[in-house]
Amino acid sequence: MAQGTADIETLIELLSKLPGLGPRSARRAVLHLVKKRKTHLSPLAEAMTTVAQTARECLNCGNIGTADICPICEDTRRENGELCVVEDVADLWAMERAAVFRGRYHVLGGTLSALDAVGPDELRIPKLIDRISSEHINEVILALSATIDGQTTAHYIADQLGDVKVTSLAQGVPVGGELDYLDDGTITAALKARRTM
């Protein structure tokens, strides 16, 4: 089934595997891109190549950046003794969009899950414990999803951390809600009303 050429079919195939896209929207996207070769396709191809060559996980916090240590971990103004623990980079970005938290982050990369056999070592929890002392953290804010796995993970971490103050986002996070779906106002309210665990 020849639709265009092998190169264009390969592009459609790869785009259709992105979350949220399917074969039909991938075809639409490629037709759009081919029509806008100069103004959209070329810059997009360039941006992808750059990110493919440079993107990596921050060795300290798990955020995505283009160096071994991400801009947030490099920024000494964010060394305020507060550490916000999130499940995923998408949640870190959601927090940054709310622009209300001025400390640093720790990205777990998921939640504890007996079902999926995800244990503490898979979640950068040992690294989190290291950071509490090496970065002189005096408050750990658990910004985890209000799901069963999220809350199990929050309680597990609170138990591990010993003396440091541990708080969690509370007011405003709907039950069963995932952080990345919330608007900025809700995140701001939840952070301001955080409670000690």
**Residues at the contact surface with its own copies, assessed by CB under 8 A:** 1-5, 7-8, 10-11, 14-15, 17-21, 25, 27-34, 37, 40-52, 54-55, 63-66, 70-72, 88-90, 92-93, 96-97, 99
Nearest 10 degrees: CA dihedral of 97, 102, 106, 111?
-50
92/146 with CB nearer its own copies: 92
Look at residue 193 and give the partner it binds from Zn ion, its own copies, none, a contact being a CB closer than 5 to 8 Å depending on partner kind: none
Query: What is the side-by-side strand order in the sheet with 165-168?
Result: 104-107, 82-86, 139-142, 165-168, 195-196
Q: How far is the CB of 105 from its own copies (least distance, A)?
A: 11
132 makes contact, choosing from Zn ion, its own copies, none, with CB < 5 to 8 Å by partner type, with none
Compare residues 60 and 168 and give the one whose CB is closer to Zn ion.
60
Any contact of residue 124 with Zn ion (CB under 5 A)? Answer: no
Whether the Cβ atoms of residue 143 and residue 95 lie closer than 8 Å to each other: yes
Least distance from its own copies to the Cβ atom of residue 26, Å = 9
For the bound state, the minimum distance from the C-beta of residue 143 to its own copies, rounded and expressed in Å, comes to 15
Query: For the window 48-67, what string marks contact with Zn ion as x by the rule CB under 5 A?
Result: ----------x-xx-x----
CB of 183 to its own copies, least distance (A): 11
Reported for 144-148, long-range contacts at CB under 8 A and 24+ positions apart, including other chains, are 144/85, 144/86, 144/87, 144/108, 144/111, 144/168, 144/169, 144/179, 145/87, 145/111, 145/173, 145/177, 145/178, 145/179, 146/173, 146/174, 146/175, 146/176, 146/177, 147/111, 147/176, 147/178
Instruction: Say if strands 82-86 and 139-142 run parallel, antiparallel, or are unpaired.
Output: parallel
State which residue, 76 or 133, has the beta carbon closest to its own copies. Answer: 76
73 binds Zn ion per the rule CB under 5 A? yes
